[in-house]
Amino acid sequence: MTSRPYILAETTWREVSATDYSVAVLPWGATEAHNYHLPYNTDVVQCDHIAAESARLAWERGARVIVLPTVPFGVNTGQIDIKLDINMNPSTQLAVLEDVVDGLQHHGIEKLVILNGHGANDFRQMVRELWTRTDVFLCTLDWYKWIDDAVFEDAGDHAGEMETSLMQYLAPDLVKPLDEAGDGAQKKFRIAALAEGRAWTQRDWTQATADTGVGDPAPSTKAKGKQCFDHVSAEIADFFIELAAADVNDLYE
């Protein structure tokens, strides 16, 4: 296997002890149903690959980034009735994150990026809560907000064209034939403000969608997945490089 010194799970103590890391990356996914054609670990697979490729690109340009193991459980309160969708409450996520941050601070790693791959996860308030408790600089990004929308007819929200295309490229052996997929149709809220996004509540997935998907996977292709993956990874790598070089006490101009 090709050495990947930027992946902690594949790296030895000899290598780790000799390396001065600038940025740690914590990918965070979920374990949940993704329509009838994608596996429950879709968010984990995507996080693993995007974090690794972004770190590789950054490492090759001199930024010493280390990717921590992906957390496989996310907030799934809205999918609690879907069999074996595993929910991790935000309060539990905060406890896990605080322990990770404490460890990083103890070992002198000054910057952490939480690379989020699940829509119901929201680490912004956790960053705010930990801000006064740690010297580690914390930031978070949702990788799916970095896509080029022009690649897709309609990216979709969950197991739609974008996620299906990515999985066709990253893990084709885990993707069922598209003729087995549901159409990803979503029912809308009856209350206008909720439907328009001016007000918000947790979606009840068993009421909102018949197949657990939101977005039509039919136009998906492996080529679109590669194009999306390459674009997102390159953009995030640029961010890693800039963050690695930054003085976190002098971020404003």
CATH assignment at residue 119: 3.40.50.10310
**Alpha carbon distance 188, 35 (integer Å):** 18
Residue 179: CB atoms within 10 A of its CB come to 7
Tell me if 139 is assigned to some domain: yes
Tell me if 250 is assigned to some domain: no
**pLDDT number for residue 2:** 64
The residue range of the domain holding 78 is: 8-245
- What pLDDT digit, counting tens, does each position of 158-211 carry? 999 999 999 999 999 999 999 999 999 999 999 999 999 999 999 999 999 999
Report percent pLDDT > 70 for the chain: 99
Tell me if 1 is assigned to some domain: no
- As for how many domains the chain has, the answer is 1
C-beta of residue 4 within 8 angstroms of C-beta of residue 10 = yes
Q: What is the dihedral of CA 199, 200, 206, 212, to 10 degrees?
A: 110
- What pLDDT digit, counting tens, does each position of 203-227 carry? 999 999 999 999 999 999 999 999 9
Secondary structure in 3-state letters for 60-75 = HCCCCEEECCCECCEC
What is the average pLDDT value for the chain, to the nearest integer?
97
Tell me if 26 is assigned to some domain: yes
